[in-house]
């Protein structure tokens, strides 16, 4: 039986998106089920890799993959240096799946096909996130709270709200990405088809505001700013718009500092008073660990232990969210070189996609599609300055980034792809 590679890869990505969204909800309490699902996803990924690189004997040749391969080689050195933790190998496998299955260029077809696939993946995310968000918003309206074991879902004791999600910040980020994709689909859809996406935006804005997740609100703001700046062709308008937004952002930041916190609170390292919610404690301690493990790092699964051993201050959020900065996270886990390589990768793909948009006469729907992906990628980069959820974790943010970055780069590299046939 002949297997359609494009269809198999697309379905895998759809399933991965749905699963990682479900993992943000109360379903995470079903530990046995998640283990089985993870194992099946891994087997599926192995089959896809076999079909791409062995059976089909084809691979897209491009520089971004070389950067990721170098990163994975450094990761192997980290595992060799820190062999005591089997979880380091598990995270290595997950990272490999993100780099070479989700971030994939192997589905052949023209640009129309790539855009259709991208729209289908966006629709998958919007629909999959609509269900838990609808339940969450209903819980907020009806004031419903319940517990499963030690986990509380609904209104929390400190005044927050998470609904059916595992946390308020998680609910906000799920909603934020759904708003971004719905906005893109609104611009790409004609007629009454827009109505569903408009309703989706309304629902997710409700979840975003009720959860009070700052990261989600920040992400949406950055997305719309980035999209306009990327999509707008006039350099003069871009300069004026940037100046206006920077001025507005500066005034908003200092207004908060002056009237809500003390001005010095922007740099306070106290977890209760500081604007950065104690992240400066994490980052300063992270620097100590990096200096002692400069080249190779301590291993991904050893990060928390190493941080606590090096700490002389409290480390708020270290157990659940790591160092709350992806570059500090990678630096501690895999060393400075690995962190620099990922930074170069982010810059490389961003420049490549922006150059593609600015230097080519694209059709309107194509320009919207690629500009939208670049805009929410920039938004995810911004989030990862204060979070660490783009690498090392099987969550929805990482899934969205690597999946759609593959779509965008697939279009950029379309004319450079070559098919490599094995000799004989």
What residues make up the domain containing 18?
5-266+316-416
Query: What is the distance between the alpha carbons of residues 191 and 195, in angstroms, rounded to a whole number?
Result: 8
Structure tokens at 181: 């994709």
Place of tokens 């927050």: 160
Span 227-243, pLDDT tens digits: 988 988 777 877 787 77
N- to C-terminal Cα distance for the chain? 24
Span 195-207, pLDDT tens digits: 999 999 999 999 9
Whether 422 is in a domain gets the answer no
271 C-beta neighbours (distance < 10 Å), count: 18
Q: Which residue has the higher pLDDT, 412 or 125?
A: 125
Whether 295 is in a domain gets the answer no
53 C-beta neighbours (distance < 10 Å), count: 14
Whether 306 is in a domain gets the answer no
Strand pairing partners for 423? Answer: none
Structure tokens at 415: 């004319």
- Do the beta carbons of residue 35 and residue 394 sit within 8 Å? no
Residue 165, classed as helix, strand or coil, is strand
Q: What is the domain count for the chain?
A: 1
Whether 18 is in a domain gets the answer yes
Span 250-309, pLDDT tens digits: 676 555 554 444 545 444 544 444 545 678 888 989 999 999 998 889 988 888 888 998
Query: What is the distance between the alpha carbons of residues 124 and 185, in angstroms, rounded to a whole number?
Result: 12
Q: What percent of the chain has pLDDT over 70?
A: 82
Q: Where is 146: in which H helix or E strand?
A: strand 146-148
Q: Which residue has the higher pLDDT, 28 or 224?
A: 224
- Do the beta carbons of residue 163 and residue 153 sit within 8 Å? yes
Q: Given a cut of 60, is residue 364 above it in pLDDT?
A: yes
Query: What is the distance between the alpha carbons of residues 50 and 405, in angstroms, rounded to a whole number?
Result: 22
Please give the pLDDT value at position 132: 94
Whether 310 is in a domain gets the answer no
Whether 16 is in a domain gets the answer yes
Whether 302 is in a domain gets the answer no
List phi, psi (to 5°) of 155.
-85, 130
How would residue 55 be classed by pLDDT, with cut points 50, 70 and 90?
low
Query: What is the distance between the alpha carbons of residues 256 and 304, in angstroms, rounded to a whole number?
Result: 32
Whether 308 is in a domain gets the answer no
Please give the pLDDT value at position 41: 75
What are the residue ranges of helices labelled H in 153-278?
168-188, 194-211, 214-231, 235-259
């Amino acid at each position: 039986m002949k297997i359609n590679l494009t269809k198999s890869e697309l379905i895998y990505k759809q399933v991965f998106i749905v699963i990682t969204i479900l993992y943000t909800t109360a379903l995470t309490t079903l530990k046995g089920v998640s283990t089985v699902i993870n194992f099946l996803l891994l087997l599926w990924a192995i089959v896809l890799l076999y079909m791409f690189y062995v059976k089909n004997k084809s691979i897209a040749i491009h520089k971004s993959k070389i950067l990721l391969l170098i990163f994975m080689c450094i990761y192997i050195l980290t595992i060799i240096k820190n062999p005591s933790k089997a979880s380091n190998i598990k995270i290595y496998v997950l990272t490999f799946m993100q780099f070479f299955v989700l971030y994939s260029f192997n589905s052949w077809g023209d640009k129309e096909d790539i855009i259709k696939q991208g729209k289908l993946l966006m629709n998958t995310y919007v629909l999959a996130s609509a269900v838990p968000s609808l339940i969450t918003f209903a819980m907020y309206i009806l004031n419903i709270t319940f517990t499963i074991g030690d986990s509380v879902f609904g209104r929390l004791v400190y005044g927050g709200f998470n609904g059916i999600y595992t946390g308020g910040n998680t609910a906000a980020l799920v909603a934020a990405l759904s708003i971004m994709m719905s906005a893109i689909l609104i611009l790409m859809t004609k007629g009454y088809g827009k109505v569903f996406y408009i309703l989706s935006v309304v629902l997710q804005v409700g979840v975003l505001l009720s959860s009070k997740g700052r990261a989600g609100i920040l992400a949406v703001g950055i997305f719309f700013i980035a999209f306009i700046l990327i999509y707008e062709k006039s350099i003069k308008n871009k300069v004026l718009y940037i100046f206006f937004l920077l001025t507005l952002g500066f005034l908003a930041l200092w207004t908060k500092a002056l009237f809500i916190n003390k001005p010095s609170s922007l740099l306070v390292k106290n977890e209760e008073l500081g604007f950065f919610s104690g992240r400066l404690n994490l980052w300063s301690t992270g620097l100590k660990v990096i200096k002692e493990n400069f080249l190779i790092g301590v291993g991904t699964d050893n990060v928390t232990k190493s941080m606590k051993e090096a700490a002389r201050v409290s480390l708020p959020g270290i157990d659940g969210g790591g160092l709350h900065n992806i570059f500090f996270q990678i630096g501690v886990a895999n060393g400075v070189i690995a962190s620099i390589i990922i930074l170069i990768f982010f810059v490389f793909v961003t420049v490549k996609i922006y150059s593609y948009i600015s230097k080519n006469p694209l059709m309107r729907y194509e320009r919207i599609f690629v500009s939208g992906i670049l805009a929410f990628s920039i938004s995810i980069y911004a989030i990862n300055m204060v979070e660490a959820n783009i690498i090392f974790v099987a969550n929805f943010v990482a899934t969205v980034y690597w999946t759609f970055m593959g779509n965008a780069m697939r279009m950029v590299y379309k004319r450079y792809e070559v098919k490599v046939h094995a000799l004989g």
